[in-house]
Amino acid sequence: MVDIHAHILPGVDDGPGTLIESIELIKQALKEGITDIISTSHAYNPHYDVSKNTVLEKIELLKNEMEKQNLSINIHSGQEIRIQDSTIERLKSEDALTLAKSKYVLLELPTSSVPVYTVKIIQEILNLNKVPIIAHPERNRAIAEKPSRLLKLINHGAIAQITAGSLSGHFGRNIQKLSLQLVDANLVHTYGSDVHNTKTRPLLFDKGLSYLEKHKRLDAVDIFLENNARIVENEEVIILEPKEPEKAKWWSLVM
């Protein structure tokens, strides 16, 4: 299994503070059956801006320690890129990292809004023959208030990544409920842990999948895991026809 969104590098952002903590996350991932992790440190975020070179250096540091401890998981480079006016230039210059050297770009929206230029950025990323992935849309307040905002982004060519902790209830019942509705409306296409540490932001990869299985969303589990694998291989992902928000009964959600 592939985890496409994880903060595992030591001392660079709000993920693990030390190499020891990073190794603990790797050990947990092994226990949950994960074979590949894309490291997605924050980039161009107001609080954290981990450069391409730092990502690559820290990955090598982590790989060396994993080899010493005989821990066999494939670590791939990437960044969680905060969307901004300069996003396209950073991708063109290759200052920004795609996921596992593929055409897929993990984009982070601000917590409370969907910037007015988001559609423009999506279209320009597509013009670069790359595919934007909206990270954890279920935790964006503007999308939670009006999920048709996510539908608009999907209709313009983006895909989206749901988070294990959201499905497992780690962020609360409302986000869990919204997450399932996004799954049912075919508005999310990939799956990531967004792990930061073992305590307050744990992996929960298996727990999120178990929640979907418990609620008979077995097809969603299969598609998420298949799409994650396809991203690492730089192949086309499976995209089902998105549903209109009204058909998904968004009005039943009380935030």
DSSP string, 111-122: SS---TTHHHHH
Q: What is the pLDDT of residue 245?
A: 63
**Confidence grade of residue 246 (pLDDT, cut at 50, 70, 90):** low
Measured distance CA(33)–CA(17) in Å, rounded = 24
* pLDDT score for 69: 96
- pLDDT, average across residues 140-144: 94
Residue 100 CA neighbour count, 13 Å, CB half: 19
> Which residues are paired to 195 by β-bridges?
6
What are the structure tokens assigned to 129, written together? 């023959």
d(Cα 119, Cα 123) in Å, to the nearest integer?
A: 6
Nearest one of 186, 135, 145 to 165, comparing CA atoms:
135
The answer to whether the CB of 203 falls within 8 A of the CB of 29 is yes
Domain range for 197? 2-252
What is the CATH classification number for the domain harbouring 101?
Answer: 3.20.20.140
CA–CA dist 165, 21 (Å, integer): 19
pLDDT at 252 over 50: no
- The Cα–Cα gap between 53 and 55 comes to 5
Q: In what order do the strands lie in the sheet with 190-192?
A: 41-43, 79-82, 104-108, 131-135, 159-163, 190-192
Contact status, residue 159 vs residue 132, Cβ threshold 8 Å = yes
Residue type, 164: A
What's the domain count of the chain?
A: 1
Amino acid at 179: S
- Find where tokens 């307040």 sit: 141
3-13 exposure pattern, b = at least 16 Cβ within 10 A, e = fewer? bbbbbbbbebb
Query: What's the confidence (pLDDT) of residue 243?
Result: 87
- Beta-bridge partner residues of 192: 163
What are the backbone dihedrals phi and psi of residue 54, each rounded to the nearest 5 degrees, phi first?
-65, -40
Q: What is the mean pLDDT of residues 13-30?
A: 97
| For the chain, percent of residues with pLDDT exceeding 90 | 95
**Sheet containing strand 74-76, strands side by side:** 2-6, 36-39, 74-76
Give residue 253's pLDDT.
44
Summarize pLDDT for 219-239 with one digit per residue, the tens. Answer: 999 999 999 999 999 999 999
| pLDDT band, very low/low/confident/very high, at 255 (cuts 50, 70, 90) | very low
Q: Which helix (H) or strand (E) holds 80?
A: strand 79-82
